[in-house]
Structures are given as C-alpha cells and as structure tokens.
Amino acid sequence: MMSSPRTPTIYQPARDVAWVPSRDVRLRMKQEARPTGHVDGAWWPRSRDLSAELPALLAAVSRQWGVCERFTYNMTMWEKAARNLIVDGVRVRLDAFRVQPADIVTVVSGRNRSRLTLLVVPPESTPAAAHAALTAASQPGNTDSVDVLLGRSELSDTTSSTERWEQEGGRVPTD
C-alpha cells in the first residue's frame, strides 16, 4: 500500500506584525553548555496543540541552542500534528511515540545532534505551580526527577539530595 506524500505545515509570521517568539513562549533553560540532570529546562505551553505551540518554542530554542531538526513527543498527550513543520525556513521533523515519557519533549539540534530534554508543564497548571516548575527545572545543577519538578512527589522541597537519593532507591555507604 502506497502512502501519499506528506505536506509540511508552513509557519510564516505576518509581515506587517512584529513577531517576537521569546515573548510568546514560556520557556526556561539551564545555562550550562551541556545537558545535565533529568531535564535541561521547562516549557509551559498554552494548549496541547503542537501546530500552534511549536513555532514559537522552536524559534526560541534555535536562537539559544542552534537550529532544531527534530522534535519528539508523547502522542497521547498532544493533539494530532503534522509530521513536519517549517520554522524560520528550516524543516523540523515531528516524531510522536507512545513510549516517550508524557511530561517530556526532546529537541535535536542539527549542529551536532545534541539532544535537549524539556519538561512540559501542563497547560492547565496554575501560574504559581508553573512558575515553580519552570524555575526549578532551569536551575544550574538541578537533577530532580520529572515528578519532583511537577510537584507530584511525596518528597518535600526541604528533603536533602542525599535523603532523596536514599528514598528513591539509592544507597549512601556508611562507614
């Protein structure tokens, strides 16, 4: 069975309107040059519509991190999207997976195939909860899990990293 060719969704900002994605996108990323921890930053989309949300996100990420060529996401958490998207004249391949963690999206850079992992703060989150998750996920050296970042863990914010390690199954050697 032959499949028909897919036409990429083309995003072109209106020429007579100033378009500044950095003001439109709610994104915070770690400043380290290399990815660290469970996530490298966090994104708080306004909806589950990737076609509407991705152009601003990818444009903002590209300015800070380099041209994006691929975007992966959990297919059960988002509305159906095109397989390709053109952002600032660059074709970005969108890949949906059932097995990808629901609260994570990844962006692959065309420059060196580096992977950027972003926590997705649910669109329906309260501003206070979203701000807390965005701030925590973008802190240098933060290695909290997705559940902790989204406040779904029974561990409190005052739990030390050593206590958290032991409670999550790690073991600290005793002398």
Rounded to an integer, the average pLDDT of 143-159 is 72
| 1 vs 46: which has the higher pLDDT | 46
* Structural domain contains residue 52: yes
* Structural domain contains residue 60: yes
Helices (H) and strands (E) in the chain, counts: 5, 8
* Structural domain contains residue 13: no
Vertex 56 angle, CA 95 and 89, to 5°: 75
Pick from 117-126, 142-151, 157-166: least confident: 157-166
pLDDT (tens digit per residue) in 21-35:
345 789 998 876 555
* Structural domain contains residue 175: no
In this prediction, residue 161 carries a pLDDT of: 57
Q: Kind and range of the H or E element at 15?
A: none
| 37 vs 148: which has the higher pLDDT | 148
* Structural domain contains residue 7: no
Residue 126 binned pLDDT confidence (cut-offs 50, 70, 90) = very high
Number of domains in the chain: 1
Question: Would you say the C-alpha torsion 22, 23, 26, 31 has a positive or negative sign?
Answer: positive
pLDDT at position 70 over 80: yes
Question: Which residue segment(s) compose the domain that 102 sits in?
Answer: 18-167
* Structural domain contains residue 132: yes
pLDDT (tens digit per residue) in 79-99:
999 999 888 888 999 999 999
